[in-house]
Structure 1
Amino acid sequence: MSPKEAEDKTIKINKWDGSAIKNALDDAVREVLTKKYSYTENYCLMDGRLVICSIAVGVAMYALLWDYLYPFPQSRPILIFCVATYFVMMGILTLYTTYKEKGIFAVCVQKDGGKKEKVWEASSYLAKFDDKYNLILTYKDGKLGSKREAKSIKSVANFVDVNGQVVHNLVENEVTKLHNSLLHEKKEK
């Protein structure tokens, strides 16, 4: 690796900003899964959120257009319907992100030529004013229908140096350890 590539790989962040650290570590984990293991990223989970938001924005745009064409007293029933629909869609979006996404930031597919695919999901959590980065790697085998997960709870100081740069090798080592533990667990069964 050339010095230019190594410089591009380092990510500098404000080490006191918890959400920036979490997002940088999430990106590093995603990069390990897609680059090192050559898994294909699947965007269906994010596409679901995009569809819900598109419907909500479409309803709002329809209300705007209808109110422009037929000013307020005339457009009142349509506006009431559109506002109610918008808030229902926002409720559905909240339920979707809370119960379906559950902090999952990467869904990667391991293709081995068969019809049933192996799916790797990475999710994380970093509490406000806390330094413990919770990383959960989940393995779903489509052939067997089994689901296993490995969890790591470490301080963000284990992955970020004093200058606020994410140390990619340390993140890669942690993800590799979790990944190998899930594969090793599979071989034991």
Structure 2
Amino acid sequence: MEEQKSQSATKNPKKANLVDHHSIKHVLDESVTEIVTSRGYVEDVRMSNLRLVMGTVIIVIALFAQFYKKKFPENRDFLLLCIALYVVLNGILQLIIYVKEKNAILFTYPPKDSFTSTGLVVSSKLPRFSDMYTLEIASADPKSISANPPVQFTKSVTKWFTKDGILVEGLFWKDVEALIDDYQKEPKKGK
């Protein structure tokens, strides 16, 4: 496993534009996804699929409104219906993104052969004009009896990138794996 990490780092180093915080966050988020899935967690894409289906329906509604056979005065009611559906479905889509996803970069199923019945929600933040990257791991179902309390760390991205913008994957892997291990620890039971 250690050899595989070092070989992948020498073959295709991950590079970010250090003056663009979106580029830095993208490289780190991609690496987090690789690390979590390498630990046996399978990505849960249901939320992404729901967003894609809703987006497709919204586009189809817009296309119907644009290319309806009748001209404007005759299709007024149809256009009003299309506009109303467009606004309502867009609102629902934005609400789902705001309430359910927030800063999530990855949803997972529980690992196979695991005693836990809940997957993970991995979230990250890198505020604009800041070098502090926050990574949080929480349960996908926080009300589940097998859910562990959320864990997070906040560290400067300068610890993981060279001056040329190359990600030092070994250091980043250690930090993320330590966070995953911290999440997977059995919670201490008080007496």
TM (normalized to structure 2)?
A: 0.86
1:113 Cα shift?
4.2
Mapped to 2, the partners of 1:138 and 1:149 lie a distance apart of: 4
Deviations 1:127-156 (A, max 9, x none): 111111111011357972434210111111
Mapped to 2, the partners of 1:112 and 1:144 lie a distance apart of: 18
**Could you list the runs of 5+ residues in structure 2 that have no partner in the other structure?**
none
Moved more, 156-165 or 22-31: 156-165
Change (3 A) 1:75 1:116: farther
Mapped to 1, the partners of 2:44 and 2:11 lie a distance apart of: 25
Aligned partner letter, 1:158: K
Is it true that 1:31 corresponds to 2:34 in the alignment? yes
Change (3 A) 1:127 1:143: closer
Change (3 A) 1:145 1:48: farther
* Partner residue of 1:48 out of 47, 50, 58: 50
Deviations 1:57-115 (A, max 9, x none): 1211121231xx11222112111211222122222122111111011111122333479
Structure with higher strand content? 1
Moved more, 5-14 or 146-155: 5-14
Query: Is the partner of 1:148 in helix, strand or coil?
Result: coil
Aligned partner letter, 2:80: I
Q: CA contact under 8 A between 2:133 and 2:157: conserved in structure 1?
A: yes
What is the aligned partner in structure 2 of residue 119 from structure 1? Answer: 119
Is it true that 1:60 corresponds to 2:77 in the alignment? no
Query: Is the partner of 2:24 in helix, strand or coil?
Result: helix
* Number of equivalenced pairs: 185
Mapped to 2, the partners of 1:15 and 1:28 lie a distance apart of: 16
Mapped to 2, the partners of 1:147 and 1:57 lie a distance apart of: 40
What is the aligned partner in structure 1 of residue 81 from structure 2? Answer: 81
Mapped to 2, the partners of 1:161 and 1:109 lie a distance apart of: 34
TM (normalized to structure 1)?
A: 0.86
Change (3 A) 1:107 1:140: closer
Is it true that 1:92 corresponds to 2:92 in the alignment? yes
Mapped to 1, the partners of 2:148 and 2:7 lie a distance apart of: 40
Deviations 1:20-48 (A, max 9, x none): 1111100000000112x132111112122
**Could you list the runs of 5+ residues in structure 1 that have no partner in the other structure?**
none
Is it true that 1:16 corresponds to 2:19 in the alignment? yes
Query: Is the partner of 1:12 in helix, strand or coil?
Result: coil
4+ aligned runs moved over 6 Å, structure 1: none
